[in-house]
Amino acid sequence: MAAGAAQLIALVAAIIGVGVTAQVLSDRFRLPSIIFLITAGVLLGPEGLGLITRETFGLTGLSTIVGLSVAIIVFEGAFHLRIDKLREAPAATLRLVTIGAVIAFVATTVVVRFALGVDWLVSGLIGALLVATGPTVIAPILEVVPVRDRVATALDTEGIVNDVTAAILAVVIFEAIVTETTAPAALVTLFAERLGIGVVVGALVAGVVYYALRYVDLSPGNAPQNARLLVLAGALVAYGGANYVATEAGIAAVAVAGMLLGNADVPYEAEITDFKGDITLLVLSFVFIALAALLQFENLIALGVGGVVVVVAVMLVIRPALVMLSTVGDRFERNERLFMSLVGPRGIIPASVATLFAVELANEGMQPAADVLVGTVFLVILATVVLEGGFARQIAERLDVIPMRVIIIGGGKVGRALAERLEDRGENVVVIENDEEVVQIARNEGHTVHIGDGTDTDVLRSAGAENARIVVAATGDDDANLLVAQLAESKFAPETILARANNPDNVEAFEELGVTTVSSVLATAQAIDNYIERPALANWMGEIGRSGDVQEIEVTSEEMAGVTVREIGPELPGGSLIALVARGDDTQVPDADFTLQVGDRITLIGDREGVRTAMRQFDPE
């Protein structure tokens, strides 16, 4: 074997090893893998060890490798784009991927044009690519920062949708650059041609693959494997076939094929998804190493102040503006909107498509445009991933957008009433329900609902039970409630598990099994008795969560240690007081000389705002 070939094989093996290592480190430290891939790429590239340069694969070979890699990456993203999820998404989420995407594209294009002085089409290409955030950089952040489901859904959906739309828009602008098309009518025609060819080819390939998966004998013993290979081949055929008909139509084709197959009821979907994820991991290694091979620090330095202006504008002006406009009038709180504004890292699609186009621009003799494209996209990716991705947890904690996660199994009247009270206090509540009519009612009331059987471990896990602090079994079936409680305890071990007992005779049996139980019959009787014997207290308790509030919180502030109730009383907000103190197994109504200690659990009672302010005095975090 020739020395050059042996060296190339060793290099390819090293790149694959780097990709796998980056993913392991990503999972270990819960950071986007792109951070480790970019670092490795720079070390292996011309600015590091120099093992990979523009000539390593040859510009034509590099263009082919990156092109096929981009096809797989775009297909993967489109495959996860579920139409039913878009229908269920809040209005603000839909505005993010429409109005927000337009704002991002136009504003970024204008900033690049005047900050870097490049022509409008190159500015538009950069602007189109930087619309995409992407699930591969958002997902690791959401694993580390368990924000409310409405925030996570908005960010995740935005990433998936904009990945695909940004890639298609970038293709059209790139083709306009290469063909020197500038007339508006010609640009519209170019867009229609490329998109139309992509849609037709993608739909044809998706139809053939679907028919083969559904109705062709794939050999029962190897059916899952053959299904995976068939889908992979379909993605590559869609890309190559569309590009053969019209240059740069391939990305639209794989996007359409991926979206159609992802929303079709195809067999072996779980196996296909896992396989595509593994393949995507490997091709990502090539993309980012290729990006590093094209990157030279002198090109970043050449961007100068203009490059910094673009980064600052994208992160601190354009992103906050589009989020704030898109979420006006929705259920998002102010701090949630700020968090979404400050967390919009760019990643896979901008990097991979920019690499592909930079190679092709260089092949066309447009090296300056290629250098600006790679430098600007890389600079924004690096800044947003490191600063926004790396510090997302700290940003979330500072803005106080990490609520207590509560899983409620049962979306009936009891479950929905409890969800409403908890959500009104700012908690992140997910209701699990399998009755479609009840699901629709709960969603119409504004609750986050996960469809499925709450007695299924996989359903509990997919609803977020691994991150839940509280699990409540609130169905009308005592057997189901007991099973849910036992599953939650054995599989997920949340801090608190509560079960509803519809038959009061079952309470003792539940509690003997260690399940904290609330009898709906006894609770109703006690509430009626309160109105008979303690009407003022009963009326006030009915206002909890509205005008009045009762909260229990652990004392964590060192400033509260050694302080008596008498001393802290005047410091409490008006309308609030300490009603109970629990220390170990002992709970008491404290007298004025009772001395607080760190670790005490105190019960605050009073008006809603006063109690919330007092909670921060005892537990600043």
pLDDT in tens, 11-70: 777 777 877 887 788 777 766 677 777 777 778 777 777 777 766 776 566 667 777 877
Side by side, the strands of the sheet bearing 496-501 are: 448-451, 428-433, 405-409, 470-473, 496-501, 516-519
Per-residue pLDDT for 389 more than 60? yes
Write the DSSP assignment of 1-21 as a string of letters: --HHHHHHHHHHHHHHHHHHH
Look at residue 324 in the predicted model and tell me its pLDDT. 92
Relative to beta strand 405-409, strand 470-473 is: parallel
pLDDT at 205: 93
Both tokens assigned to 240: 């190559």
319 SS3 class:
helix
The CB density around residue 514, as the number of other CB atoms within 10 Å, is 10
209 Cβ contact list (under 8 Å, min separation 6): 230, 231, 234, 257, 261
First to last CA, the chain: 63
CA distances to 18, 65, 90 from 362, rounded to whole Å, are: 26, 16, 43
Q: Which residue has the higher pLDDT, 107 or 150?
A: 107
Question: CA-to-CA distance for 87 and 155, rounded, in angstroms?
Answer: 15
Contacts of 328 (CB under 8 A, 6+ apart): none
* Three-state secondary structure string covering 473-528: ECCCCHHHHHHHHHHHHHHHCCCEEEEEECCHHHHHHHHHCCCEEEEHHHHHHHHH
Q: Are 396 and 339 in contact (CB under 8 A)?
A: yes
pLDDT of residue 494: 87
Q: Answer for the pair 277, 28: CB distance below 8 angstroms, yes or no.
A: no
Question: Average pLDDT in the 113-133 region?
Answer: 90
* SS3 letters across 64-95: HHHHHHHHHHHHHHHHCCCHHHHHHCCHHHHH
In this structure, are residues 492 and 471 in contact, taking their beta carbons and an 8 Å threshold? Answer: yes
DSSP states of 183-239: -HHHHHHHHHHHHHHHHHHHHHHHHHHHHHHHHS---GGGHHHHHHHHHHHHHHHHH
- Phi, psi for 50 (deg, rounded to 5): 75, 20
CB neighbour list of residue 61: distance below 8 Å, 6 or more residues apart: none
Residues 76, 280 contacting (CB under 8 angstroms): yes
* Three-state DSSP state, 591: coil
pLDDT in tens, 305-347: 999 999 999 999 999 999 999 888 767 888 888 999 998 888 7
Task: Identify the residue with better confidence: 311 or 152.
Answer: 311
Mind listing the pLDDT tens digit for each residue in 524-565? 777 787 778 777 766 766 665 556 778 888 888 888 888 888
Q: What angle do CA 494, 497, 498 make, to 5 degrees?
A: 160
Name residues whose C-beta falls within 8 Å of residue 411's C-beta, 6 or more positions apart in sequence: 431, 432, 433, 435, 438, 439, 441, 442, 447, 449
Sole residue written with tokens 């002198």: 298
Residue-level pLDDT at 267: 82
For the segment 151-176, the average pLDDT, to the nearest whole number, is: 81
Q: Is residue 369 predicted with pLDDT exceeding 60?
A: yes
pLDDT above 80: residue 283: no
- If DSSP states are collapsed to H, E and C, what string results for 439-464? HHHHHHCCCEEEECCCCCHHHHHHCC
For the segment 187-207, the average pLDDT, to the nearest whole number, is 85
**193 has a pLDDT exceeding 90:** no
Residue 620 has pLDDT above 80, yes or no: no
Residue 590 has pLDDT above 90, yes or no: no
Q: Which of 220-229, 363-372, 408-417, 545-554 has the lowest mean pLDDT?
A: 545-554
User: In this model, does residue 291 exceed pLDDT 70?
Assistant: no
In order, the DSSP letters of 361-405 are HHHTT-HHHHHHHHHHHHHHHHHIIIIIITTHHHHHHHHT--PPE
- pLDDT at 313 (0 to 100): 94
Give the DSSP letter of residue 50: -
The string of pLDDT tens digits covering residues 428-452 is: 888 999 988 888 888 888 788 888 8
pLDDT value for 408 = 92
Query: What is the overall mean pLDDT for the chain?
Result: 81
Q: What pLDDT score was predicted for residue 1? A: 47
CB 67 within 8 A of CB 426: no
Cα 78 to Cα 75: distance, rounded to the nearest angstrom: 5
Contact predicate 101/168, CB 8 Å: no
pLDDT of 572 over the 90 cut = no
Strand partners, 265: none
Helix-helix angle 367-383:120-129, to 10 degrees: 30
* DSSP state, residue 621: -
State mean pLDDT over 58-85.
74
Query: Is a pLDDT exceeding 60 seen at residue 3?
Result: no
How much is the CA Rg of the chain, to the nearest whole Å? 28
